[in-house]
Structure 1
């Protein structure tokens, strides 16, 4: 039996965290929410996390800084950045650094799931969304 991917959702907006985790769980992923990058780094979930979904702008460390910190430690995790304040320069920096996806809030469920597929490098098996 394959191991289910474990996805960490890191966003200082509780409503976004809860909605994203709810979506991920509804299609069969293991999902855990964190209110900050620091909380994620201090957790015991880094080794088992197979994908990150992180807000670009948060109090403290940004999602892009978190990705850079993990990459510097030799433990880069496929990362999807989400933002309510898109800017082309940050998007280019993120994608050039190796981030898998950069989504502007509000994004569709399909956009997020497509980015997760890309993060895993193949189509991930999850329950289909109800149309």
Structure 2
């Protein structure tokens, strides 16, 4: 069977903790099940590495020197960085947990934690990262295909999204109904929409319903 090539980068589990012993322990645990890992002793080290936009997940200690784990999490979110985060702490309490989860953490594990709990959390985080990256890739491809739409096709699409029938769209735009059908069919073909539901979802993604 020929080898299937893919451009999808291999995910990395990033460990950010100032406790070198814990970092090494987590590194060994993740590598034992086949994950690629990288270690950092502070949030600053991680940011300076340029790793924040790569595929993977972040296992982040709340108590860090300098920028705390929670403040770092919020900084990443503000910068539009969506890497899934697993928070861990030996000093966790309810307010910290709530703050971390509201900011989008995948999980919150108090130290000491069970190895299987950590592995389950990482598996969930990597699955979410892969799903979100695939969605963004599809959206980017859709926007590239949308560049080939004519202004009239966009006008028709914006009205399709509101639930208008071809006859109503024809009246709005001063066109014949058959012309509207042609524009609608051309738009569906250019975007690769197989069904009306696909077509409307694509219109919404492109914000052509506004």
TM-score band by shorter chain is 0.7 to 0.9
Of 36, 45, 55, 1:39 maps to: 45
User: For the residues of structure 2 that align with 1:47 and 1:54, how far apart are their CA atoms?
Assistant: 16
Q: Distance in 2 between matches of 1:51 and 1:34?
A: 13
Structure-1 residue corresponding to 2:160: none
Gaps of 5+ in 1: 125-131
Matched with 2:10 is 4
1:66 to 65, 72, 86: 72
Instruction: Describe the SS at the equivalent of 1:42.
Output: helix
User: Which consecutive unaligned segments of at least 5 residues does structure 2 have?
Assistant: 131-210
Counterpart of 1:129? none
Q: Tell me by how many angstroms 1:44 deviates.
A: 2.7
* 1:4 CA displacement: 3.2
CA contact (8 A) 1:83 1:105 kept: yes
Aligned residues: 123
- More relative contact order, 1 or 2 (CA 8 Å, 6+ apart): 1
**Which one has the largest radius of gyration?**
2
Corresponding residue number in structure 2 for 1:85: 91
Q: Which protein has the bigger strand share?
A: 1
| TM-score for both structures, normalised by structure 1 | 0.86
Query: Contact conserved, 1:84 with 1:105, CA < 8 A, in 2?
Result: yes
Q: CA RMSD in A?
A: 1.7
1:111 aligns with 2:117: yes
